Amino acid sequence: MSTATEPALFEIMSQMRAMRRLRPDPVPTELLDRLIQAAVWGPSGSNLQAYQYLVVTDRQVISRLAPLWRRCVDAYLATAGKNTPGTMNDEAYRKMVAAIRYQCDHFAQTPALIIPCYRFKMPPPSVAGLKAMRASLGTRATLKLAVNRAFGVVAEASSLYPGVQNLLLAARALGLGATLTMWHLMLESEFKEVLGIPKDVHTYAVIPIGYPVGRFGPVSRVPIEKVIRRDRW
């Protein structure tokens, strides 16, 4: 619980569970717009702001996505999600899987989906720019950076996910349930086809939004003493 001198934000963060059971009631457009505004307030690398947020409320469109969602969920639960994580006991894991299955079974009734996207084509570095990089980083690091596609993906993600976290915090503050998922990436091209997303646009999440069936409550996390390393590893 927050104290008189502690911002309410801390309490919101401590009770921001993934809410997978959602009521079918529609979410007002103005509330969804407030979520996007919160996301846009997040930081953006080089202040490029090359993101777009696709908001889907058309039930016919969502119904077309439902079979794709089920295929992704089945694949996840059969592989990465098959074994109980080390930080979760069997009962907690069973409840999580039940919630995932509930969301899957009721996906077509999801009130809203938000898909954070990023579209930016990095211009090739100039000769002068490469020379400057080589002088600063050395030949090996410069070559590695030039051919490493992962750098661009991480750069885009770092300009999107802070905004996504803003969006999730805003949803919790407004009494809306939400879940950050990336399962759609298993069938990203099919999702893009249904949603009309151009091939050169990268999608980074599908976030179901709605009024929760259950209640918000404290999240279960490891103590910070287990994750902090000070000064050196």
For the chain, the domains span 17-216
Residue 7: the pLDDT is 64
As averages over each run of 10 residues, the pLDDT of the chain (233 residues) reads 68 90 96 97 86 97 98 89 69 88 96 93 70 80 68 81 95 94 95 96 96 88 90 94
Residue 84: the pLDDT is 61
Give the Cβ contact number of residue 143 at 10 Å: 14
**Fold (topology level) of 17-216:** NADH Oxidase (3.40.109)
Q: How far apart are CA 104 and CA 217, in angstroms?
A: 22
Q: How far apart are CA 62 and CA 114, in angstroms?
A: 11
Residue 47: the pLDDT is 80
- The pTM assigned to this predicted structure is 0.86
Residue 124: the pLDDT is 66
Residue 72: the pLDDT is 95
Work out the burial of residue 15: count CB atoms within 10 Å of its CB; fewer than 13 is exposed, 13-18 middle, 19 or more buried.
middle
Residue 125: the pLDDT is 67
Residue 4: the pLDDT is 59
Beta strand 177-178 with 51-56: parallel, antiparallel or unpaired? unpaired
Residue 44: the pLDDT is 86
Among positive and negative, which fits the CA dihedral 169, 47, 113, 199? Answer: negative
